[in-house]
Amino acid sequence: MDFLKAIVNDFKGFWGLGGFLDIVKSGNYGKFLTYEGIVSLLVPLTPLLLLLEIIRAAFYKKFRVINYKVSFFTYVLNSFVGRVISFAMVGLCIKWFLPIAIFKTTFTWYWFIYGYIIWEFAHFIYHYLAHKVRILWCLHSTHHAPETMNLSVTYAHFFLEGPYADLIRTSICILLGVNPAMLFVIMFVDGFWGAMIHVGENIIEDGRLGFLNNIILTPSHHRVHHARNVVYMDTNFCNLLNIWDKAFGTYYPEDRSIPIEYGISRPMIKNSFLDAYFGEIVALAKDVYRAPGIKNKVLYIFMPPGWSHTGDHKMTSVVRKKYFEELKAQK
């Protein structure tokens, strides 16, 4: 009974209506103008938009349960494990690194701007490493496995990715002086927009969002990030402010003449949750087992995906370089 009760409570928690209903029951609607009230309004927006996305797809006879399978099972698994570890990691990082921070800031609007730029930098570092270090890609690849884009993809993560991401991001932010209370607000904004950029073509066909495409990272940019097209691979690592992508040369806008193909480059078992969740780990284990010598075994773990001890590299940097060279030769 306790297990069933936990499932029911988790289902209710998924919709994020607790804070909203508490304010309505209290009758103090002025709370909606406070930070707590704004959060209570924004939290349910993602699951409700997901529901709208599913209803709209069903109405136009485009809904396929299989498109949500990997994300659903991943969310169910992670809801009991990943979130607890992730919250604990944030707390530990603040405890460990706050005393040795280079300097400390206060919760003001100008330090908030500083804090968000630092957060975006920390997010870029975590995200870049997740694509460039094989063992970390094993954790991140689950998020890229779905072959369609919809809001449910925001819930598709390997349970250890959250703790790893929070270790990197929280540590950098705290060491560079971001106020802990302010950091939690930044994390909320980041989480909210991080969900919104996964909205599918079923809701917003053109994800460039007009003039906003030149200012912030839009669903269009993130669709490019999730593409397995060679021209798009390993680009747009930022989440809201794309300044670090532009600074480090990983920014790439959507080319509407190139249809996006979602998923990862490794051949997968079609619509398999187990392959999406554990497939990259199994592939890495096989490469490590077959590699000659300790050095090559270690390199397979820490080199980018596609690295080979034979020298026949299939890394993104190699594949993209060859692609653009051939494109240039054709022109």
Q: Is the pLDDT of residue 208 over 50?
A: yes
**Average pLDDT in the 218-223 region?**
97
pLDDT band at 4 (very low <50, low <70, confident <90, very high): very low
* Residue (of 140, 156, 141) closest to 266 by Cα position: 141
Neighbours of 66 (CB within 10 A): 10
Amino acid identity of residue 83, one-letter, is R
Q: Is the pLDDT of residue 64 over 70?
A: no
Q: Is the pLDDT of residue 35 over 90?
A: no
**Average pLDDT in the 158-163 region?**
89
Residue 207, pLDDT score? 94
DSSP state of 310: T
**Average pLDDT in the 252-260 region?**
94
Residue 180, pLDDT score? 94
DSSP letter for each residue of 70-129? HHHHHHHHHHHTHHHHHHHHHHHHHHHHGGG-S----S-HHHHHHHHHHHHHHHHHHHHH
**Average pLDDT in the 82-106 region?**
86
Q: Is the pLDDT of residue 237 over 60?
A: yes
pLDDT in tens, 166-190: 999 999 999 999 999 999 999 999 9
pLDDT in tens, 278-317: 999 999 999 999 999 999 999 999 999 999 999 989 999 9
pLDDT band at 265 (very low <50, low <70, confident <90, very high): very high
Strands (E), the chain: none
Question: Which of 35-44, 72-81, 96-105, 167-176 is least confident?
Answer: 72-81
**Average pLDDT in the 105-131 region?**
96
Amino acid identity of residue 78, one-letter, is N
CA dihedral angle for residue 88, residue 39, residue 223, residue 140, rounded to 10 degrees = 10
Residue 2, pLDDT score? 46
DSSP state of 256: T
Q: Is the pLDDT of residue 44 over 80?
A: no
Residue 60, pLDDT score? 59
